[in-house]
Amino acid sequence: MLNDLANKKGELFAGAILDCKYENNDFYFYCENNVILHVKAVTDKIIRFRYAVDGDFPRDFSYALSETYQPEKPTLEFKEKPDHYRITTNRIIITIWKENLSVRILDKSGTILIEDERGFHWEYDRETGNDIVKISKKVQGGEHYYGLGDKAFNMNLRGKRVQNWGSDTYGYGKNSDPLYKNIPFYIGLHQKIAYGMFFDNSFRSYFDFAAERSNVTSYWAMGGEMNYYFIYGPELVEVTAQYTNLTGKPELPPLWALGYHQCKWSYYPEQRVKEIAAGFRDRQIPCDAIYLDIDYMEGFRCFTWSKDRFPEPKRMVQELADDGFKMVVIIDPGIKIDKDYWVYQEGLANDYFCRRADGPLMKGSVWPGLCNFPDFTRPNVREWWAGLFKDLLASGIKGVWNDMNEPAVFEQGTFPDDVRFDYDGNSCSHKKAHNIYGMQMARATNQGVKKYAYPNRPFTITRSGYSGVQRFAATWTGDNIASWEHMWLANIQCQRLSISGYSFAGSDIGGFIDTPSGELYIRWLALGVFHPFCRTHSSGDHGDQEPWSFGDENTNLARKFIQLRYQFMPYMYTTFWQYVTYGTPMLKPLVYLDQYDSETYLRMAEFGLGENLLVCPITQPEADGRWLYLPRGNWYYYWTDEIVAGGKEVWAEAKLDRIPLYVQAGAVIPMYPVQQYVGEKAIEALTLHVYHKNGAHQSTLFEDAGDGYGYQNGDCMIKKFATVGTTQSLNLQQTATGNFTPTYKVCKIVLHGLPFEITTAELDEQTIALSQITKDDALQTYTLLVNANFQSLTIR
């Protein structure tokens, strides 16, 4: 496109720098032809570049940025040289050439991190009056690219061109683009050094990773500003964490939201919902949430209930709650044009709906028929929208699911370009607001659910979003298909979302369109239980997709994998806490586990979950295992306790009753007993699986009430488990901080992989009788019960 456009219209470039002014962390470079570059050192590692072409900057505004982000002040040095300016932070060196405003960034060892090719340039688009703003960078030797949200491409984006224009893509496939989300953030890796690039521009945008020209990576947007953040790693995880801090982290979800969820388009009437609920409890398959799709409403009118299908919602929701089920309902943006419908009346009376350029209300057909659409970019509209959730929450609804918010409109796809938006006081057209519409809807929804769920935590989920949307809702990967390829895609998309700041993601397990075979369903479920959001969803006209729909044998396997999810719950919750606290991605592609090993660069099936687990799904039929690349270090095969050395390809034996799953040597993995739903029983013992390693390792456990906001005031418990192992011994130290007191008083410690026979055991300096340690011959593990507050356990 760079060249196509260039053929027809003129590309414009900055002139030479005439002057420079600076104050604190802000540097302004004024060029010959009215171009200004504003460089802001946000931190020592995050540098913002903002360009103006008409001699002035418009009001600075972004929906992406977190309001609570507190950057650490950089340490700076500024120098003017004959042909360039140089800004040096504690970590990087930024050079800006006087001749043409070209930018280069080096790390402290002098390695080039990024370097402009043609640099910033633009084109004036006569039709819209917008500037098409572009930048091009040289591809560095051996450079690889990752990120960009939900893209359905191979993990490594080199050689691809992608587009951000949120779209309802029913039955998309590998390489379909654009999809639902708009996350203009990528991560570059070369010479084992990682950096991030966040192009904060909500217009339709494109990224070309050495696709058009093999030595150039470029990106551009159809309007708005050239406004990007460079983020220095050098570690991949740090790049994602910084981006996530910049664009915001969610709050902790209620613990039940990490349980298993069951969804369908649609479960109705009440009797059917009850059958589904009973189906879980009768078969003892754990489940925390059941969803109602659009058919629960009266003629698809949001915030109404179908009188025939759900005559007494509050009673039904309560009865389900008594049995441990939380109910989540869908809410779409389209409000039916219907004079007798109160939501429509209120929206109309208060002028809350979007308007066309010439004044009429924006009309579009979606499920209810012709609809108007709230302008979620106005604070008072969000406030109104939030208030609409009062009755739903009062009926006991615990979560809300936002769909169709790309925004999607039948036939025409989305809104026409001329539709107007307030954009929080920065009035604009759909061209600019399209990509943030879904995010602002999710924001308003979260605001309402949060308010009325109080003192409990809200749960919201959205299909579309822009950078920063992770603050407001969980997400899923949209309308996928029950095929092996789609399961493969789900794995990549969830990892990619995670490294793009959006960890709370999952796929429609088993596929939304079509019916999976039992085998595919089980393989997919086995993967899904290791995704932060774990929900089976399918469209109604393609048969049943409950965990018991595929015969007895598969039902048993489904139960087993869902039970595993509940056993790993404290580990998943800890991983979530690390995400909301540090911005650490919950899922990590293999390259994130070892960027110093180039064998990981093109891998995409294997991923890390949290600190200590490695998962690799089987995405082919009739397999009894698979080859995978295990990162360096020693790993335990979860199912057998076999110790496997990484840094090479290994074969993981995994018939349908297993998913390749490895535990890092030295790890301590916390587990809960199986429950049918979160909070079913008070946890009486926490199990700590300790995996011996020759050497030291540290693991974490976070616990709190699992709901409410006490954790924000210290009512939580952070435990660190430090293990040190030798060929003769194992020491485990536990240190705890925080005020939370868990229900359990004991820990069940399971020792894995001891390379010696136990002769003595000491707990907090007291000898333990060996008779208190039981050996499991199958796995060669040793189990003992200890006081939950133990500090040190030594085994020899």
Catalytic site residues? 403, 406, 479
Least distance between ligand MIG and beta carbon 721 (Å): 40
Token digits for 363? 């009309």
276 vs 614, which CB is nearer to ligand MIG? 276
Least distance between ligand MIG and beta carbon 440 (Å): 19
237 vs 294, which CB is nearer to ligand MIG? 294
Cα–Cα distance measured from residue 205 to residue 199, given in angstroms and rounded to the nearest whole number: 9
Q: Which of 150, 238, 270, 403 binds ligand MIG (CB under 6 A)?
A: 403
336 vs 463, which CB is nearer to ligand MIG? 463
- Three-state secondary structure along 158-182? CCCEEEECCCCCCCCCCCCCCCCEE
Q: Contact between 208 and ligand MIG (CB under 6 A)?
A: no
Least distance between ligand MIG and beta carbon 513 (Å): 10
538 vs 781, which CB is nearer to ligand MIG? 538
Token digits for 609? 């979950």
294 vs 732, which CB is nearer to ligand MIG? 294
Strand 92-97 to 84-88 pairing = antiparallel
Cα–Cα distance measured from residue 701 to residue 55, given in angstroms and rounded to the nearest whole number: 53
Beta carbons within 8 Å of 563's beta carbon, 6+ residues apart: 286, 674
Sites for ligand MIG among residues 536-555 (CB under 6 A): 537
Number of C-beta neighbours around residue 651 at 10 A? 11
Q: In Å, what is the CA distance from 168 to each residue of 178, 374, 414, 463, 540?
A: 9, 18, 9, 9, 19
- Are 298 and 280 a contacting pair, CB within 8 Å? no
Q: Contact between 631 and ligand MIG (CB under 6 A)?
A: no
Sites for ligand MIG among residues 716-735 (CB under 6 A): none
Spacing of C-alpha 193 from chain mean position: 23
Shortest CA distance to 294 belongs to which of 275, 267, 315, 316?
267
179 vs 615, which CB is nearer to ligand MIG? 179
DSSP 54-99: SSSPPPP--SSS-SS--PPPP--EEEE-SSEEEEE-SSEEEEEETT
Torsion of CA 316, 317, 322, 324, to 10 degrees: 130
Least distance between ligand MIG and beta carbon 559 (Å): 25
Cα–Cα distance measured from residue 358 to residue 356, given in angstroms and rounded to the nearest whole number: 6
Q: DSSP assignment, residue 8? A: H
**Window 249-288: contact mask with ligand MIG (x via CB under 6 A):** ----------------x-----------------------
Q: Which of 293, 514, 546, 606 binds ligand MIG (CB under 6 A)?
A: 293
Type of residue numbered 132: I
Sites for ligand MIG among residues 325-384 (CB under 6 A): 330
Least distance between ligand MIG and beta carbon 475 (Å): 11
Q: Contact between 479 and ligand MIG (CB under 6 A)?
A: yes
Least distance between ligand MIG and beta carbon 535 (Å): 10
Least distance between ligand MIG and beta carbon 489 (Å): 15
463 vs 748, which CB is nearer to ligand MIG? 463
Number of C-beta neighbours around residue 298 at 10 A? 17
290 vs 793, which CB is nearer to ligand MIG? 290
The residue with tokens 């869908």 is 330
Type of residue numbered 250: P
202 vs 538, which CB is nearer to ligand MIG? 538
Least distance between ligand MIG and beta carbon 536 (Å): 12
Q: Contact between 463 and ligand MIG (CB under 6 A)?
A: yes
511 vs 646, which CB is nearer to ligand MIG? 511
**Using alpha carbons only, what angle is made at residue 669 by residues 664 and 675, rounded to the nearest 5 degrees?**
140
Shortest CA distance to 465 belongs to which of 247, 221, 183, 242?
183
Least distance between ligand MIG and beta carbon 289 (Å): 15
For residue 38, give the 3-state DSSP assignment: strand
293 vs 703, which CB is nearer to ligand MIG? 293
- Are 725 and 691 a contacting pair, CB within 8 Å? no
Least distance between ligand MIG and beta carbon 95 (Å): 47
Token digits for 280? 């879980």
Least distance between ligand MIG and beta carbon 507 (Å): 11
Count the site residues for ligand MIG by CB under 6 A: 10
Spacing of C-alpha 296 from chain mean position: 28
DSSP 726-788: -SS-EEEEEEEESS---S--EEEEEEE--SS----EEETTEEPPGGG-EEETTTTEEEEEEET
Type of residue numbered 647: G
Q: Which of 166, 178, 478, 660 binds ligand MIG (CB under 6 A)?
A: 478
Q: Contact between 294 and ligand MIG (CB under 6 A)?
A: yes
Nearest residue to ligand MIG by CB is 265
Cα–Cα distance measured from residue 429 to residue 422, given in angstroms and rounded to the nearest whole number: 9
Point out which residues bind ligand MIG (CB under 6 A).
265, 293-294, 330, 403-404, 463, 478-479, 537
